[in-house]
Each structure stands twice: as structure tokens, then as C-alpha cells.
Homo-oligomer: A and B are copies of this chain.
Amino acid sequence: MLYSNLFPKTLKTTSSEESKNAELLVKAGFVDKVMAGVYTWLPLGLRVLRKVENIIRDEMNNLGAQEVLLPSMHPKENWQKTHRWKTLDVLYKIKSQTGKEIALGPTHEEIITPLVGKFTNSYKDLPVALYQIQTKFRDELRAKSGVLRGREFGMKDLYSFHKSEKGLEGYYPDVIKAYHQIFSRCGLDAVMTTAPGGGFTSGGYSDEFQVVSPTGEDKIYVCKKCKRAYNEEVKITKCECGAFLDKKAKNAIEVGNSFKLGAKFSDAFKLDYVDVKGKKKRAVMGCYGIGTTRLVGAIVERFNDKNGIIWPKNVAPFYAHLLKLGDNKKVSKVAEGLYAKLRRAGVDVLYDDRIDAQAGEKFADADLIGIPLRLVVSERTLKKDSVEWKERSKKDSKNVKLEKTTKEVEKWISK
């Protein structure tokens, strides 16, 4: 893509933002704040979000889960059946022209459970696992952490339905494995953390995936021996492996969670099946969430420096940022040739083709936007028949021969 065409350009100044992720994402032109907790995803930001979503989709499909798209508007009756119409304080409510009351989905157990119930008759219909990647709405009293805690935000929610607790217990570790795979592909090291169940679930414990970060709003105690962690709200001193926990809590950002719901929702919606002996049985459920927009925010909180964002390769908006310095004819010709060659090789590349921007501005924008590989073509590099190669996460640059550049980029991508 030509940077001269990209909407919008980076901002020279930003209004004071409440968090590092919002400050950088707004300034670099990835998101625009519409109101507190509500953001527009701009072309650069949407590219990152789609990459995150596709990593998640890939791992969900590998797990054998099937993708659906549930609606945001839910009938009041469904929420009354679980009593959450009254008890869930973050539930947005709408009254239609005809007087019908509607809930705006903050989570989807109230829709997915009767849906699966409608198509479940016998033990042959179970287990089944469905997921969606969709917008959620939560009437948070405070929304102050940029895209980490939105009132409107993206989420992947997976729901699994089983014949028995045993079936759920057997399936659960597969999801945990997929989750670790997702975070790792996004460049994050997430620790599994025991936490209270919380208002969205059936009480008891849940598992959170936490990324240690000084800006995180959660506090966790990590076990040095087995790497399991405990949310401070659980307040225990000894890990389940027997070892004592760290005395000092670490700040962390929650990027995912999973709950063994048991029969809480299948009771509310009478989700029954007939077992192999012809006996009526109640199904049990698990649910598993990853905030997709929040994940983008967590990546920014984790990977930045004073100059801007440092995107991990798998989720970067482009692999390479090609800069042309100056308006020398030969420089332009070489830069355009390299841009075309990279694109023909299937490399996603952002080409800063501006003629009205100085070298300093181009370098600053490249650092702010944070594309992992910067390639510079200038009169100076052409003297050596070379391109300057600089990785955003590294300090030093090197020269790469012009004719070898595309091959080297391909090699670097597949590394």
C-alpha cells in the first residue's frame, strides 16, 4: 500500500489518552476514539485485528469447533430465564417502537444454549462446540483503559456442550492448549491463572490467561515452580503443585478466560438429551472467551518503546515498511521497483512514497507505526547498491544488496 493513499496519516499530537495502548494506537492512526470505550478501527488497526482474528479462527477450527454468528439483539425472555435481566449490571437494554424489550448481548449463553437445545435430541448430537467472533456490548461504569476495556468490543466466544462432566473435563485441556497456541502466535506469553468465577458464570473458579505487564490492572501471584498463577482475588499462598507462591504480586492484563459452567445454563433452558439407554439426561457446558480488540491492546502494552509500537511479525499490519528518502529520480525508480517486486512475491508492504515529507518525519512515523521490518532506499544506500535493513525490535541496521532484498525478506518472514 502507498502511504500517500493511506487513511489517515499519523497524528502530530494526541489529546491526553488514559492508557499507553490508546495513546499509541490513536497517534499512529490505528484507531479513532468515538466516545469513552467506543473506537473506530482504521485501516491499519483493522489489518492487525483481522490477523489476530484469523489466528484465533485457525486454532478454533483445528479444535473442531464450528463458526457461527449469533445476533447482538436478544429477547428479554431469554435473559429472564437465567435471571440475568435483573442481576447483570452491564446489560444494555433497548425498548423498540412496538414496546418490545431487548438486551444487547454482553455474552451469548442466553442465545447459544436454546439454539443447541433446539437441535439436540440424542447422545449422538453431543458433544458439539460452536464459536463466533463478534461485537459485544457492556455498560461499564468506567472505560478508561483504551481498547483494553471497551463498552463495545470484539470477542471470540466458544461454547462447548457435553453429555457429562467427564466429557467436559476431557475437552477442557484441548481448549487450554489451543489458547496457549493462540497467545504464543500473537507473540504473547500468557500464564494460566486461577480466578474467581465472576458475575458472568456459575461461581466457583475460572481460569484466566494473563500477560504480565506493568500497566495491567489485574494482580497475580505466579508460582515459580510450575508457572501457574493465582489472581489476587483468590488469596492463597500455596500453589496447587505444593510450592509457595511469589510474595510479590505482578501486574497483568487478562487476555482470555475459560469457565466450566456445568449445568447452570442447560438447567435454565432445559437442555436435555436421550442417552444410549433411552434415559433423559441434562447436558453440561463450558465457555471460553478471548477479547479480540483487547488482545490488540495487550500486544501494544507489551511491545512498545518511547518511539512507538513494536508489532510481533504475525500480527503486524504489514511485514515491511519501505521508505524512499529524497526525490532523486534514481532513488524513486529503485524504490518503486523494489515495492513492485516485494508485492509480486506476496509480501505485504507499506511504501512511504511521500515527496513532501523529510527523512526525519519518515523515520519517526515508521517507528511510531511499528512495522517489524524497515527498508530504506536513499542516495547513500544506492552508492553501495544496497538497501538499509532495520528490524523494529533491534537496535542495529545493516545493508542488504538490492538484488537480494526480496529473497532476504521472504526468508525473514518464514523464519
Q: Given A66-B43, A94-B104, are A115 and B38 also a contact pair (CB < 8 Å)?
A: no
A152 and B96 alpha carbons, distance in the complex (Å): 12
Any B CB within 8 A of the CB of A107: no
Say yes or no: is A46 at the interface (Cβ < 8 Å to chain B).
Answer: yes
Is A71 within 8 A of B39, CB to CB? yes
Is B71 a contact partner of A141 (Cβ separation < 8 A)? Answer: no
Question: Residues of B contacting A276 with CB < 8 Å?
Answer: none
Q: Does A358 contact B (CB under 8 A)?
A: no
A104-137 Cβ-contact flags toward B at 8 Å (1 or 0): 1000000100011011000000001010000101
B34 touching A75, Cβ below 8 Å: yes
Residues of chain B contacted by A104 (CB below 8 angstroms): 94, 104
Is A62 interfacial (CB-CB < 8 Å)? no
Minimal Cβ-Cβ distance residue in B for A134:
B135
Partner of A5 from B7, B46, B64, B75 at Cβ < 8 Å: B64
- Which residues from B are CB-within-8-Å of A128? 7
Contact with B along A37-61 (1 / 0, CB 8 A): 0111111001001000000000000
* Interface residues as binary, A6-17 with B (CB distance below 8 Å gives 1, 0 otherwise): 111100000000
Q: How far is the CA of A133 from the CA of B344 in the complex (A)?
A: 27
Q: Indicate whether A364 reaches chain B with its CB closer than 8 angstroms.
A: no
Query: Which residues from chain B contact A331 at a C-beta distance below 8 Å?
Result: none
- Are B40 and A68 in contact, with the CB atoms below 8 A? yes
Q: Quick one: which of B40, B66, B96, B111 contacts A34, CB cutoff 8 A?
A: B111
Given A32-B118, A119-B7, are A41 and B66 also a contact pair (CB < 8 Å)?
A: no
| Complex copy number for this chain | 2
Residue of B nearest to A93 (CB): B94
Report how far A93 CA is from B92 CA in the complex, Å: 11
Q: Does A267 contact B (CB under 8 A)?
A: no
Is A345 located at the chain interface by the 8 A CB criterion?
no
Contact between B97 and A89, CB atoms less than 8 A apart: yes
Closest-by-CB residue of B relative to A116 is B7
Q: Complex formed: what's the CA distance from A205 to B244 in Å?
A: 74
Q: In whole angstroms, how far apart are the Cα atoms of A344 and B96 in the complex?
A: 50
Residues in B with CB closer than 8 Å to A71 are 34, 38-40, 152
Q: B72, A43: Cβ atoms under 8 Å?
A: no
- A49-B67 Cα distance, complex, nearest whole Å: 12
Q: Mark A135-167, 1 if CB is under 8 A from B, else 0.
A: 101010100000000011000000000000000
Nearest B residue to A96 by beta-carbon distance? Answer: B139
CB-CB < 8 A to A38: which residues of B? 71, 73
Q: Is A241 among interface residues, defined by CB-CB distance under 8 A?
A: no
Give the residues in chain B near A46, CB-CB below 8 Å. 67-69
CB pair A67–B43 under 8 Å, yes or no, is: yes
B42 & A68 in contact (Cβ 8 Å cutoff): yes
A and B contact pairs by CB, cutoff 8 A, 30 listed: A5-B66, A6-B66, A7-B66, A7-B68, A7-B128, A8-B118, A8-B119, A9-B119, A32-B115, A34-B70, A34-B73, A34-B75, A35-B73, A39-B71, A40-B70, A40-B71, A40-B111, A41-B68, A42-B68, A43-B67, A43-B68, A46-B68, A49-B69, A71-B152, A89-B97, A90-B97, A92-B94, A97-B139, A104-B104, A135-B135
For the complex with contacts A7-B116, A7-B128, 8 further pairs of A-B residues with Cβ separation under 8 Å are: A6-B66, A7-B68, A32-B115, A32-B118, A40-B68, A40-B70, A40-B111, A46-B67
**A residues at B contact (CB < 8 Å):** 5-9, 32, 34-35, 38-43, 46, 49, 64, 66-75, 89-90, 92-94, 96-98, 104, 111, 115-116, 118-119, 128, 130, 135, 137, 139, 141, 151-152
